[in-house]
Chain A
Amino acid sequence: MTTFLQRIIDGFQNGAIYSVVAIPMVLIFKATTLINFAQGELAMIGAFFGFIFATQVFGLNVWLAAIIAMALAAALGMGIERSLLRPFDPTDHLPVVLITLGIFYIINAVGGDIWNYQAQINPPNLLHEMPDLGFWDIGVWMQDQTILFTSDTNPLGLRIQHDSIGLILSLLIMLGALYMILEKTKMGLAFRAVSSNTESSRLVGIRVGRILSFGWALACAFGALGAILVAPRITLQPNMMAPILIYALAAAAFGGLDNVYGAALGGFVVGLINSVVLGYISDVRWLRARLDSIGIEDAEFVEGLGSLTAAPLIPPVILLLTVLWFRPTGLFGTKTIARV
């Protein structure tokens, strides 16, 4: 039971990372109806902006560096949308897919050239630098709260990483902020109008171009913040988002490409499936007992299944295929109806 709970917790810990990349991807799909294959790399470069300002060069306060990084990432996203993607018809998929793949390539290569594909030591950790408000030192308070769970001798005997509670909480806060922006502000209303029907929103006087830029800026800022948050856990290096991109694609498709909250849920589902399925399959003793009980006594087969841990990308691909086979627009996505 403890093992099972542990795997559930691991799943949530990893799922938060996948959600953090999947949500901006969905925001961008809502704005410009394209899948941004460069989303992981944009988030990566955002994390590196934060790293530069916080540690490497300027030595700013970590939170200030994060704000600057978000602003820079937002500017970068707006620039890419305005200059490279606006001229194309989003219903013609090939050019926009190629453009985003090209951006992926360029950012990855430039990052790799500057930082040599090496993991940076001491990436900025927002959760370790919580502000002291005078009457309430949030950092110390969080230490006190999490020490209960992070030690190995907590009542349940579970391992919970110190940062992951903060990460999941920050993800929820970010989702809340996103909800406020999208549902309660005028800009958010315009954004939803544009993503639901571009032509009609143009007719009622919404400046569609600005809204598209706004969507990209929002997504990139969100992605940068998320990447800064997860960087201490998955090491800060130019390839950090390459495997996560696949999980994030699965998460986004699971929830439907045009549903932000679905993507957040999808991230957790992908994380859970990965940690539970791979966890049990690679547990050779457990697997052998189960297979014995149904009459399969093939030691080699069991060992072979155990090697699935070397291929952690297979479960998300199978999930992707299964979900899209039964629901071609994801679980919560808007169905599209073709007209003759």
Chain B
Amino acid sequence: MQFPLVFDRDSAEHRMYRIVGFAALAVVTILLWRYLPAFQVKRLSRTLAMAVAILGLNLVVGYSGLLALCQSAFIALGAFVSASLIVDHGWDYWMTIPMALLATFFMGVVLGIPALKIKGLYLAMTTVAFAAAFPSITKLELHFPPSWLPGDFWRGDLSIAHRTGGANGRALAEPNGLGEDLTVPSWFPWFDVDERYAFGCVLILAVIAFWAVGNLVKSRPGRAVISIRDNEIGAAVSGVNLRYFKVINFGLSAALGGLAGVMWAMFSGFVAEQDFTFILMVDLLVGLVVGGVGTVSGALIGAMVVVFGRWLCQTYFNYSLASIALWGILLGFAMFVVQRLDHARLKMVSAGGAVLSFLFLVLPTLGLNVFKPLDGLGFHDMGGGPGWDWSTFLATAVFVVFLTIFGLAVAGATQNSEAITRAGAFVGIMGGLGGLGTWLWAQISVPGWLWLGLAGIALAWLAYGAGKDQLVAAGAAATTALIAISWFQAQVGLNGWITALLVIALVPAAGYYAMNAPATIRPIIAGAGTLLSSILIIHWASYRSDIPDGLYQLNGDGPLSQAIFGIVLIVVVFFAPQGIVGAWRKSWSNIVQIRPVPPALPAGAESLSVSSATTESTEA
């Protein structure tokens, strides 16, 4: 078989290809649905709700290019409308869906009209402010709908704070008049009502939403919206009604957020304003960017990354700050080596990496648990539901990964291909030195200042290679001088003004000296300066009694996962702006390509030579 396979769009092969793809997705979904532990199924439901919300965000940010960052408010509105109608008015779930969609669509249109005038960054800041302010709106005691409104349809005479539960949130699990549990809709009475059942209900809505949006963006209105993003004036000239399409698109995006809110209420059975803060908005943005801006399937992938990534961060990530620094340095070192060395030396590096990774990665996981690197890696107490042994599963997965690392390093050392050697050297350095470092870590509790200092030395060395050593040396020298003076002042009790004079005189002098020192001395200054200043910093900064031995442990949940999300956001925007879907499409095109087929020409018209030219280039 010859790769890449080339299919004509909408040919029989292409249809078969798509059917196989969707069937595989369906099989995976059903397997996960059936065999994952219940708390993970709930996480899957959350993923689907997030995916629909990201899809809506994508309509505005990705397809029409407007920076509207208030999707979390629309989710909140949908969730609260649904919750209030169910609990206060006794509606059924399916009846609340159109109401939530209408309410959020209306609100989207109302916000979309100012968005016609407010452009670019001004729109971003307005919507950010709105998203930040929305949770506090739910605490208002104002009556809604207001009592001066005519008619008494769904009146209830309740305040906003009562409908939303205010700061306490609203539980949907209150029994209704019949004593039924309302946590999930009772659409299919022949199933047990539990997390798996809720996932089924959420899945139906998500499939409908994805199908609808997938077709919408390919339709005539969808193309009109994309043309507005690409060139607004051009679109207007071509007859696209800018106002109409922008506002309706805004409304549709908001309605998708509302649908996500209803799904949220369905699977969680509890809605509270604390869930819909600006943090949720940034999570949605991370999902959007990681999945791929302007792609439909990216929404699902991004949502999976966000939901399961946060869970992984919170549960299993127990590294210390210094060990994160270590991995960062290792990455930089490996990239540096792989770029700099020639093929023959890379082979030697691969061989070394293979030996190290065999000793410190493969051997321990084989059951010869001599070095116990797994403890250092943080895979402990995997938990999981009954009948599901996470620890065995993950240990097997880890073993497979380690074996792959070892195999790649061996291949790099033995094969003649440049690319394989480079990959083998890279993986070998990361795996071998990482395993060695982890082992060292477990053996001797290395004080934090040493890691920071080593980081400084490695940084200095990298900078030396990259020709930026002047800057690093100057910075290290200036920092050391500053901290040394501060230390001196604290010890001796120097007058503050004299200290200020000392700082003003000595810090720039140290930086200047380091910058103009001979090239051979500069890396030494940089490394020694970082080591010295990190000793001083850690020594005097160990004011926190809970820092063991100056080793700074990061807390797994809350702040850390937030920081990691921030880093992921920046790294993805920086290095992979096309997102996972974009990268996947690029690499998958080596295996399968879909060739666009020009529309059939009217009878008698001559075929253009352009089409044959494209065919040739695709095959080449």
Residues of A in contact with B (beta carbons under 8 Å apart): 29, 34-35, 37, 52-53, 56-61, 63-64, 67-68, 84, 87, 93-95, 97-99, 101-106, 108-110, 112-113, 117, 131, 243, 245-246, 249-250, 252-253, 257, 298, 300-301, 303-308, 310-314, 316-317, 320-321, 324-325, 328-329, 338, 340
17 A/B residue pairs, CB under 8 Å, sorted by A:
A35-B124, A59-B489, A60-B490, A61-B500, A67-B503, A84-B570, A84-B574, A94-B61, A109-B560, A109-B562, A109-B566, A246-B132, A300-B147, A313-B132, A314-B137, A320-B129, A324-B114
Cβ contacts under 8 Å, A101 to chain B: 282, 285, 566, 569
Stretch in B115-123, B387-395, B455-463, B583-591 with 4+ CB within 8 Å of A: B115-123
B298 to chain A, nearest CB (A): 14
Task: Verify A93–B486 contact, CB threshold 8 A.
Answer: no
Given contacts A52-B541, A246-B132, A329-B122, 14 further A-B contacts (CB under 8 A): A29-B121, A37-B128, A60-B490, A64-B500, A93-B120, A94-B61, A106-B570, A113-B563, A131-B497, A304-B141, A307-B142, A313-B133, A314-B136, A317-B130
B499 within 8 A of A: yes
A105 touches B566 (CB 8 A): yes
User: Are A68 and B482 neighbours in the complex by a CB distance under 8 Å?
Assistant: yes
**By the criterion CB–CB under 8 Å, are B233 and A338 in contact?**
yes
List of 9 A-B pairs having minimum Cβ-Cβ separation, nearest first:
A61-B496, A105-B566, A109-B563, A311-B136, A304-B142, A313-B133, A307-B141, A106-B566, A102-B569
B345 cross-chain contacts in A, Cβ below 8 A: none
Q: How far is the CB of B527 from chain A (nearest CB, A)?
A: 20
Binding site for A on B (CB under 8 A): 61, 67, 69, 114, 117-122, 124-126, 128-130, 132-133, 136-137, 139-143, 146-148, 159, 161, 233, 282, 285, 289, 293, 482, 486-487, 489-490, 495-497, 499-500, 503, 540-541, 543, 554-555, 558-560, 562-563, 565-567, 569-570, 573-574, 577
Interface of A is mostly: helix
Name the residue in A34, A102, A249, A328 with the highest tally of chain B Cβ atoms < 10 Å from its Cβ: A102
Given contacts A84-B574, A304-B142, A308-B140, contact A105 B554 (CB under 8 A): no
Q: Provide the bound-state CA to CA distance between A324 and B118, in Å.
A: 6
On chain A, the residues within 8 Å of B565 by CB distance are: 105
Chain B nearest CB: distance from A188 CB in Å? 22
Contact of B563 among A106, A117, A321, A324 (CB under 8 A): A106
Known contacts A34-B121, A109-B566; decide if A57 and B137 are in contact (CB<8 Å). no
Inter-chain contact B490/A58, CB cutoff 8 Å: yes
CA separation between A48 and B224, bound complex, in Å?
A: 50
Tell me whether A106 and B489 are in contact (CB under 8 A). Answer: no
B125 touches A35 (CB 8 A): yes
A221–B141 CA distance with the chains assembled, in angstroms:
42
A64 to B482, CA, bound (A): 12
Q: A57-B540, A102-B566, A340-B233 are in contact. Are A305 and B142 (CB under 8 A)?
A: yes
- Chain B proximity of A217: nearest CB distance (Å): 14
- Chain A residues with CB under 8 Å of B570's CB are 84, 98-99, 102-103, 106
* Chain B residues near A246 (CB-CB < 8 A): 128-129, 132-133
Contacts of B67 in A (CB 8 A): 93-94, 97
| Docked complex Cα distance between A33 and B189 (Å) | 58
Q: Inside 8 A of A113's CB, which chain B residues have their CB?
A: 554-555, 558-560, 563
**Closest residue of B by beta carbon distance from A322:** B114
Do B141 and A35 touch (CB < 8 A)? no
Separation of A101 and B554 alpha carbons in the complex (Å): 22
Residue of B nearest to A252 (CB): B125
Q: Establish whether residues A313 and B499, one from each chain, have CB atoms under 8 Å apart when the complex forms.
A: no
B58 to chain A, nearest CB (A): 12
- Shortest distance between the CB of A197 and any CB in chain B (Å): 19
Chain B residues, CB < 8 A from A312? 136
> Known: A101-B282, A104-B566, A105-B563. Is A310-B489 also a contact (CB below 8 A)?
no
**B129–A95 touching, CB < 8 Å:** no
B124 in contact with A325 (CB, 8 Å): no
Query: Are B574 and A87 in contact, CB atoms less than 8 angstroms apart?
Result: yes
Q: Once the chains are docked, how many angstroms separate the CA of A57 from the CA of B136?
A: 38
Give the Cβ gap from B155 to chain A, nearest Cβ, in Å: 13
Checking A56, A63, A307 against B496 with a beta-carbon cut-off of 8 angstroms, the contacting residue is A63
Question: Contacts A61-B497, A311-B136 given: A301-B142 contact, CB under 8 Å?
Answer: yes
Question: Do B136 and A307 touch (CB < 8 A)?
Answer: no
Do A98 and B569 touch across chains, with their CB atoms under 8 A apart?
A: yes
A196 to B185, CA, bound (A): 59
Whether A317 pairs with B147 at a CB distance below 8 angstroms is no
Q: Report the bound CA distance from A252 to B128 in whole Å.
A: 14
Taking the closest CB of chain B, its distance from the CB of A241, in whole angstroms, is 12
**Please, which residues of chain B bring their CB within 8 A of the CB of A37?**
128
Q: How far is the CB of B468 from chain A (nearest CB, A)?
A: 11
Chain A's closest residue to B69 (CB) is A97
Nearest chain A CB to B228's CB is how many angstroms away?
14
**Cα(A138)–Cα(B439), bound, Å:** 59
Residues from chain A with a CB closer than 8 A to the CB of B562 are 105, 108-109, 112
A253-B125 in contact given A304-B142, A307-B140 (Cβ < 8 Å) = yes
Closest to B499 in A: A64
**CA distance in complex: A124, B17 (Å):** 67
B124 and A97 form a contact (CB under 8 A)? yes
Q: Which residue of A lies closest to B507 (CB)?
A: A71
The docked-state distance in angstroms from the alpha carbon of A277 to that of B497 is 46
Query: Which of A104, A112, A311 interacts with B133 by CB under 8 Å?
Result: A311
Interface residue from A95, A102, A112, A249 paired with B558 (Cβ < 8 Å) = A112
B499 touches A60 (CB 8 A): yes
C-alpha spacing A243/B4, complex, angstroms: 54
Docked-complex contact A60 and B486, CB < 8 angstroms: yes
Contacts of B137 in A (CB 8 A): 311, 314
B73 to chain A, nearest CB (A): 11
Contacts of A56 in B (CB 8 A): 543
With both beta carbons as reference points, the residue of chain A lying nearest to B558 in the complex is identified as A112
- Bound-state Cα–Cα, A35 to B128, Å: 12
* Shortest beta-carbon distance from A49 to chain B in Å: 12
Query: What's the minimum C-beta distance from A236 to chain B, rounded to whole angstroms?
Result: 15
Q: Are B139 and A35 in contact (CB under 8 A)?
A: no
CB distance from B247 to the nearest CB of A (A): 15
When C-beta atoms are compared, the residue in chain B nearest to A315 turns out to be: B133
> Looking across the interface, which residue of chain B has its beta carbon closest to that of A35?
B121
**Max chain A Cβ within 10 angstroms of own Cβ: one of B114, B555, B559, B565:** B559
Instruction: Contact check, B503 vs A64: say whether CB atoms are below 8 A apart.
Output: yes
A304 and B140 contact, Cβ closer than 8 Å, known pairs A106-B567, A250-B129, A338-B233 = yes
Residues from chain A with Cβ under 8 Å of B143 in the complex: 300-301, 304
A243 vs B161: C-alpha distance when bound (angstroms): 21
Asked if B289 and A98 sit within 8 Å, CB to CB, the answer is yes
Give A309 Cβ to nearest chain B Cβ, in Å: 10
Q: How far is the CB of B128 from chain A (nearest CB, A)?
A: 7
- In the bound complex, what is the Cα–Cα distance between A68 and B573 (angstroms)? 32
When the two chains form the complex, which single residue of B140, B146, B497 contacts A310, counting CB atoms closer than 8 Å?
B140
A307 to B560, CA, bound (A): 35
Q: Please name all residues of chain B whose beta carbon is closer than 8 Å to the beta carbon of A298 when the two chains form the complex.
A: 147-148
Residues of chain B contacted by A98 (CB below 8 angstroms): 285, 289, 569-570, 573
Complex contacts, B141 vs chain A, CB 8 Å: 303-304, 306-307
CA distance A53 to B499 in the complex (A): 12
A68-B560 in contact (CB<8A): no
Q: Is the CB of A112 within 8 A of B489?
A: no
Q: Complex formed: what's the CA distance from A329 to B119 in Å?
A: 9
Whole-angstrom CA separation of A249 from B129 in the bound complex:
8
List A contacts of B543 (CB < 8 A): 56-57
A110→B563 contact, CB < 8 A: yes
Which of B161, B486, B490, B577 is A95 in contact with, Cβ under 8 Å? B577
